[in-house]
Structure 1
Amino acid sequence: MATTKKIKEKPVILVTNDDGITAPGIRNLVDAVKDLGKVVVVAPDKAQSGMGHAITIGTPLRLHHVKYFDDIEAYSCSGTPVDCVKLAVDKVLHRKPDICLSGINHGANHSINVIYSGTMSAAVEAAIESIPSIGFSLLDYSIEADFTAAGIYARKITEMVLRKKMDKHLILNVNIPAVPHEHIQGIKICRQAYAKYQEDFLERLDPTGRRYYWLTGEFLNFDKGKDTDVWALHNNYVSVVPVQFDLTNYVLKAKLEKSWKQ
């Protein structure tokens, strides 16, 4: 009796971002992975950078089917990047995708930026829902940024995650230096650097004489380690930092259990 081979279904790939559904970065990400599975896009209808893990609870959310990506199913959402992931799973896909890709962000999400990033919060939300996820960022804020190298590495890393079954709570924070592809030294698995912005608020007056404030600051790296994302990017490596949503400090927990024992 002849046997029939079971046809393996293509993985479902959810794509989102925080720069908005019309941003060049998300188009480049879709183009990079669209033949790796069934791609569905659910992304904010406007820029949501710096939103972190915010969710919308005081106003209704709206989804609109859009035709921005040729034959790729896509929706714009009035909410935050995290809202996009939640709605995608519950109202668009009606199931959990096999992977969630967020980005490609216009600008860095290394070091402390991961805390504030809407790009990474979308990825974290997916992992909370047991969906392996990757956030991609290019170290170029320009709307005319060259995403060639970022697209190549986004595809390569996505393929590696899809090829080998990994933890369902996997979250990778991937940053790509803003240099031509031939100048990139490769991929480096890193830890998050202790680096942050020394912030300042510029005080100005509006035309009516009322004060307003504009956030600015200088990026400072306090971490001289050669195993950090900041070092890797400075040396033209693609940095890959495995992150997690469990914020427990286990080392301190063990110490407090001993020192605070009653």
Structure 2
Amino acid sequence: MNNKPIILVTNDDGIIAPGIRSLIESMNSLGEVYVVAPNSPKSGTAHSITMDTILYCDSVKIDNGKQKEWECSGTPVDCVKLAINNILPRRPDICVSGINHGSNSSINIRYSGTVSAVIEAGIEGIPSVGFSLLDLEWNADFSSSKKYVCEIVKKILYNPIPEKTITLNVNIPKLKKEEIKGIKICRQAKSKWQESFEKRSNPKGRTYYWLVGNFVNFDEEEEDDTDEWALNNGYISIVPIQFDFTNYSILNILKSWNFMLFFFNIFNIFNIFNIF
């Protein structure tokens, strides 16, 4: 076991979710597996961390696998932080998150606890990848994804990801194994959720709000370089993600704003002295 890579597995659907159980089974064939995952569903928590409440992290035994497991009361990012700093015997060789029940393509990356967990690992310099299956059902069939999950993880283990890439975001269409056409390396589609809150009343008459929305893809249907196109056309999508949010194309424009603001402030100072 000492010669095997250490693989950290986490997710945001909770430690008993079928998706993570499938992922653990696949990872057991590749290395020494440590699981640190939320003790309940934490979908949509993005990169949130626990700061004002106690964190619990308890050792558990859920199945007869070879892995060592802990369930955590915090978010997916909490799980990764705790695993790296307190639980694992050394830094993992790779962090793998998922398999998520539902899509994490395009704009969903911004909200995903699955993806944020591996971004956190990437910030720490640990190769990482998040997996999602486009099936929201609890009893989703993950069998068709196993071959590709193992193939992608092995590629990362033996072909280090370039330094500026934090992690890989992998989405798998809801298809049978023989229907999947292959893997596409893509960019994140330009999209958003057109959202609203439905105002409702509970049985006691108290008002509450329920978030609803429609997915809007701003890319043209014929643009075949996006994750949405790949998934809609029977391919697994892989999007390399970087954590640097800086928009380098407008840096010089904003620097000119700073120059103008300096003179604006000087002008205000002169006005103040004129008043008094």
The two structures have a TM-score, normalised by structure 1, of 0.93
Question: By percentage of residues, which structure has more helix?
Answer: 2
User: Of 19, 24, 28, which aligns to 2:22?
Assistant: 28
Which of 41, 56, 59 is the matching residue for 1:47? 41
Give the aligned partner of residue 148 of structure 1. 143
Aligned to 2:12: 18
Unaligned runs of 5+ in 2: 261-276
1:3 is matched with: none
Query: What amino acid is aligned across from residue 171 of structure 2 in structure 1?
Result: N
The one-character-per-residue Cα deviations of 1:184-224 (angstroms, maximum 9, x if unpaired) are 11000000001121112111111221210000111111111
How far off is 1:252 after superposition? 1.7
Name the counterpart of 1:4: none
Kindly indicate whether the alpha-carbon contact (under 8 Å) linking 1:132 and 1:167 is maintained by their aligned counterparts in 2: no
Shift in Å, 1:174? 0.2
The 5-angstrom pairing of residues 78-97 of structure 1 reads 78-97=73-92
Q: Aligned-pair RMSD on alpha carbons? A: 1.7
- The structural deviation recorded for 1:48 is 0.1
**1:9 shift after superposition:** 2.0
CA distance in 2, matches of 1:189, 1:255: 32
Name the CA distance, whole Å, in 2 between partners of 1:60 and 1:75: 16
Summarize deviations over 1:67-122 as a string: whole Å, max 9, x none: 11423100000000000000001111143211000000000000100000000000
Aligned counterpart, 2:266: none
Task: Return 5+ residue gaps in structure 1 as ranges.
Answer: 1-6
Q: Is the CA contact (8 Å cut-off) linking 1:134 and 1:171 kept in structure 2?
A: yes
Structure 1 residues 181 and 91, CA gap change in structure 2 (3 angstroms): same
Larger radius of gyration: 2
Which whole-Å CA distance do the structure 2 matches of 1:124 and 1:98 have between them? Answer: 15
Return the TM-score normalized by structure 2. Answer: 0.89
Q: Distance in 2 between matches of 1:226 and 1:132?
A: 27
Inter-partner Cα distance in structure 1 for 2:50 and 2:254: 36
What does residue 183 of structure 2 align with?
A: 187
- Verify the 8 A CA contact 1:53 1:122 in the aligned structure 2: yes
Deviations 1:8-53 (A, max 9, x none): 8211100000000000000101111212111100000000000000
The answer to whether the 8 A contact 2:166-2:243 is kept is: no
Structure 2 residue corresponding to 1:200, chosen from 196, 203, 220? 196
- The change in CA–CA distance for 1:75 and 1:250 in structure 2 (over 3 A counts) is same
Q: Check conservation: 1:12, 1:98, Cα contact below 8 A.
A: yes
Which residue in 1 is equivalent to 2:3? Answer: 9
Identity of aligned residues (%): 54
1:83-122 correspondence to structure 2 within 5 Å: 83-122=78-117
State which of 210, 214, 217 in structure 1 corresponds to 2:210: 214
- Partner of residue 264, structure 2: none
Runs of 4+ in 1 over 6 A off after TM superposition: none
